Amino acid sequence: MAAPKDVSAREAEVLTALAGDRSNAQIARRLQISVRTVESHISSLLRKYGVADRHELAALADSQPEGFSTPTGPGTTFVGREQDRADLTRALGSNRLVSLLGPGGVGKTRLALHTAAEVADNYPYGGAVVDLVPVRPGFVVAAVAEALQLTEQPPQTLTDAVLEKLRRGRTLLVLDNCEHLLDDVAGLVARILTEATETAVLVTSRERLGVAGERPVQLGPLPLGVEAEQLFRDRAALVAPELADDTKLAEKVCAELDGVPLAIELAAARAGSLGPDGLLAALDDRLRLLSGGRGPNERHNSLARVIGWSYNLLDEDERRLFRRLGVFVGGFDLAAAAGVTPASSKSELSDLLGRLTDKSLLHRSQLAGTSRWRMLETVRAYALDELSAEYDEVAALHVAWAEAIAEDLGERLEAGQEWQTEFDQVTPDLRAAVSGPKVAHGLVRRVAHLTFARKRFVEAREHYLTAAANAADAAERYDDLRDAADAAMVVAEGDEAYQLMMRAAGDGNQDAAAYAVTILNRYEMTRTAAVPADRGASLLAVGGDSVPVLVARAWAARFDIPAAERAVEAARQADATLELMSALDAYGTAVGAAGRFRDANAAAQERLALAATLPEHDPRAVAEIVDAFHAGSTAAIAAGELNEAVRLALLTDDPVHGHPYITAPRKVRAFALCGRLDEAVQAAELMWNGWRAAGCPPRAWMASAAATAALAHGLLGTGLDALWQHRALEIAQVNDATDDPGLAAPAAFVDARLAIHHHDTAVPTAAVAGLVERALAEFPEPWWVPYARAAGAELAVVAGLPDAAQYVESAVTENAWADAVLLRATGRLHGDQDALAEAAARFGRIGAAFEQAHTLRLLTG
């Protein structure tokens, strides 16, 4: 008889439990409910099925596939697993023995029961679910017989009785939790497959049976994301309804617990008593947190019990290796496993690793032809708990392995061989190895160097600082602090770099003092209170005439061209490439301040050529390479060489290429000026979002890029130019553009250029004269002055201001873009078609497509 549609999940459980004429008390104990509740459900079932008494209900229960009607357990929904359900259903459709395999807590039982219920109509002779957890060796057949409501009737054996019932027709037998009874289960299943040819068997286990015809289906944790988070929210809502929509908490908890369903459910059950903050804090001790649950299966009430169940099934060699592997944070290969088990041969280890994998305590993957294994974090927590007595010994072996792998990776890096893939795999363990209280200086240096070479600059800085704390003497400490400072410089942390070099200078190191002075004057300082009045000149008083000191003096002199030239010459004679690049930058800055932008651009080009010869994994070299790209773009724009600015913006050779906001500004500026407006606004969004995501650090040098983004939006007519002008102020941390030296000129230029653009289509406003005055004012920083001067002069011509001719004639620049604009302004002022034609040609030569098109429209009327 088909079940009525209104039978609840709990009523279906009671009906199933009635099989074998169990008493109400027995059913109550089985389902952990009260006897009165059982009586109520039975009365309801009698009414819904329309039968006379409980014996008829028991007969109905005997005809049902026991357990299929309650696949998800009482009171909870089945979440996700769509693909796994489909895979398991397909496997059952074409195989008579399917083994659902996976570690404890991943939901094998739930999925098996849910799928069995879904496919129950394919098995008209029903079947049974047999929970083998409480079954001891030698009693598997008895457990199956009990589930099938069979009793021994001599001389027929129980096995024969089971086989006889299963031979009746299409039947599905679910054998749940077989890992501790593999031999017994395998023997019975082999006979079923041979003698009951229409019966299918679905097994859940942590290890395969090894029976011919077995179709394994591997089940892992829930994928991090929608499914895992939905499970947490569903279960948490039962104890704390306000957490049903807390997606951030769900995301953090599920990630910490590797997506293991049982762990997620146990954590969710504690959410009501701990609250979000308490729950996240408790994750530091997973095994303590994930205990204390309640339910019919005591083994599932604590994650430690689930894992302990598997651990207790291991032999002593397997247990020993399992415990020791707990020291690996991010996974391991065979060589790594050998490193923490020196008494075992690799052949022994290979066999043991295979056995632990077969038992679902390890997960194996293949990377570049090499097998790697890892533990789920919850399993690893259990292994470490068991390792406690041996921890010091194994931790020392783990550090020794880390030293060997770091040295090997370093040698491969220097030799130009592939090293990145393996480094990424072992990074978590290298981090763990250098986080101890007494870490070897050499190991930390190697890890720092590898991390820096992998372009994880912020993390590398922290490793260098750890090395400095473990340095044997002042010389070692200087090297560590210098590399940490350069790692900070790569990501534009000038203040941090300066402070680090001042620490090193405190040991009496004159090179450190010289570099501190260079940083102080060369890079943007946000902590102005920390800048000495003499800008560090006193630190160089006893430094002699070494190249680093001469370079530092050139920077401290600030825009002194002869001092910069002396530093350049000294560095050339000493063949000191890094010092030469710094000296050339000082020279380029000095001549740029004097308006000699072509000389500044030539110095920047020489720096870029030198940068191409430097190693991209050394912090001191990379700090210069990164700055060479930045200064190269700045100088190219200052000289109006837009093709070069675009080339530098698109190059991927920059070690910080792809950084969310350090490299994007040069794209914004170059694209906006050359007329690639859509690309400019896209790069600006990346820059803005990256800067905001980083916490809006002080980066005033980015403000000019936001201003040129306003230019791009204004020329496109998006209506967002005012927004980006405001963003430029926010980045510069000022209320008015004139309050920031680096923003004053570019903001005045953008306002003037947009006024020209809008004047072509609208009546000029009374503010035009003010815009011209701003554009032609004196500016504290030189790099954008040509753009402001040229745009202001052209705006004066367009608006018909009386001094327009004087403005055009006096705005002499060393900037190809500005020169073309002034020529266009001359053409507009005098109606000179030849001047307009030549201006259009010049715009074309430097790649300023928008300005060229605008000029051609003027030429054709």
User: Domain ends where: 157, 187, 218?
Assistant: 218
For residue range 117-148, what is the model confidence (pLDDT) as tens digits?
888 888 888 888 988 877 888 888 988 988 88
Instruction: Specify if 835 maps to a domain.
Output: yes
Sequence-separated contacts (24+) of 148-151 with Cβ below 8 Å: 149/19, 149/20, 149/62
Q: Which residue type sits at 125?
A: Y
Strand ranges for 164-271 from DSSP E:
171-176, 199-205, 214-218
> What pLDDT is attached to residue 464?
97
**Token code pair at residue 286:** 């997973």
Instruction: Specify if 647 maps to a domain.
Output: no
Residue with tokens 């906001």: 661
> What pLDDT is attached to residue 358?
83
Check whether residue 16 and residue 130 sit in a common domain. no
164-178, 225-239, 587-601, 833-847, range with the lowest pLDDT: 225-239
User: Domain ends where: 272, 305, 338?
Assistant: 305
For residue range 561-583, what is the model confidence (pLDDT) as tens digits?
999 999 999 999 999 999 999 99
Is the CB of residue 743 less than 8 Å from the CB of residue 774? no
Confidence check: pLDDT of 20 > 80: no
Instruction: Specify if 722 maps to a domain.
Output: no
Check whether residue 20 and residue 94 sit in a common domain. no
User: Which CATH number do you get for residue 132?
Assistant: 3.40.50.300
Confidence check: pLDDT of 764 > 70: no
Region 397-406: what's the mean pLDDT? 95
Check whether residue 13 and residue 101 sit in a common domain. no
> What pLDDT is attached to residue 296?
44
Instruction: Specify if 43 maps to a domain.
Output: yes
> What pLDDT is attached to residue 529?
53
Cα(361)–Cα(263) distance, integer angstroms: 15
Confidence check: pLDDT of 388 > 50: yes
Residue 216: strand pairing partners:
99
Check whether residue 230 and residue 246 sit in a common domain. yes
Tally of CB atoms within 10 A around 32: 10
Instruction: Specify if 340 maps to a domain.
Output: no
> What pLDDT is attached to residue 73?
40
- Eight-state DSSP code of residue 153: B
Burial class (CB in 10 A: 0-12, 13-18, 19+), 119: middle
Check whether residue 774 and residue 796 sit in a common domain. yes
Q: List the end-to-end C-alpha distance of the chain, in Å, as a whole number.
A: 90
81-85, 336-340, 584-588, range with the lowest pLDDT: 81-85
> What pLDDT is attached to residue 598?
95
Instruction: Specify if 657 maps to a domain.
Output: no
Over the Cα atoms of the chain, what is R_g?
A: 38
Cα(474)–Cα(481) distance, integer angstroms: 10
Check whether residue 238 and residue 135 sit in a common domain. no
**Token code pair at residue 360:** 């679902």
Instruction: Specify if 17 maps to a domain.
Output: yes
Cα dihedral 628, 630, 636, 638 sign? negative
Among residues 320, 315, 291, 294, the alpha carbon closest in space to that of 304 is found at 291
Tally of CB atoms within 10 A around 554: 31
User: Domain ends where: 269, 284, 305?
Assistant: 305
Strand ranges for 260-382 from DSSP E:
363-367, 370-374
> What pLDDT is attached to residue 385?
86
Q: Quote the domain boundaries for residue 192.
A: 82-218
Domains of the chain: total: 5
Check whether residue 286 and residue 235 sit in a common domain. yes
Cα(803)–Cα(488) distance, integer angstroms: 49
> What pLDDT is attached to residue 142?
86
Cα dihedral 661, 667, 670, 672 sign? negative
Region 7-36: what's the mean pLDDT? 68
State the average pLDDT for the chain: 86
Confidence check: pLDDT of 850 > 50: yes
Maximum distance among all Cα pairs of the chain, rounded to whole angstroms: 123
Among residues 49, 62, 74, the alpha carbon closest in space to that of 18 is found at 62
Check whether residue 244 and residue 204 sit in a common domain. no
Is the CB of residue 746 less than 8 Å from the CB of residue 774? no
Q: Helix H segments across 343-440? A: 346-358, 377-387, 391-414, 420-433
Check whether residue 96 and residue 144 sit in a common domain. yes
Check whether residue 249 and residue 197 sit in a common domain. no
Burial class (CB in 10 A: 0-12, 13-18, 19+), 158: middle
Q: Which residue type sits at 172?
A: L
SS (H, E, C) 579-599: HHHHHHHHHHHHHHHCCCHHH
Is the CB of residue 725 less than 8 Å from the CB of residue 710? yes
Confidence tier at 232 by pLDDT (50, 70, 90) = confident
**Token code pair at residue 7:** 């039978």
For residue range 354-380, what is the model confidence (pLDDT) as tens digits?
889 888 788 888 877 789 998 887 788
Among residues 383, 421, 387, 394, the alpha carbon closest in space to that of 405 is found at 421
Confidence check: pLDDT of 297 > 60: no
190, 728, 777 from 683: Cα distances, Å? 65, 15, 30
Check whether residue 141 and residue 47 sit in a common domain. no
Instruction: Specify if 436 maps to a domain.
Output: no
Tally of CB atoms within 10 A around 472: 8
Is the CB of residue 237 less than 8 Å from the CB of residue 245? no
Check whether residue 241 and residue 207 sit in a common domain. no
Confidence check: pLDDT of 299 > 50: no
Tally of CB atoms within 10 A around 836: 21
Q: Helix H segments across 739-832? A: 741-759, 768-775, 785-799, 804-810, 816-830
For residue range 26-72, what is the model confidence (pLDDT) as tens digits?
676 556 566 667 777 788 788 777 777 777 777 666 555 443 433 33
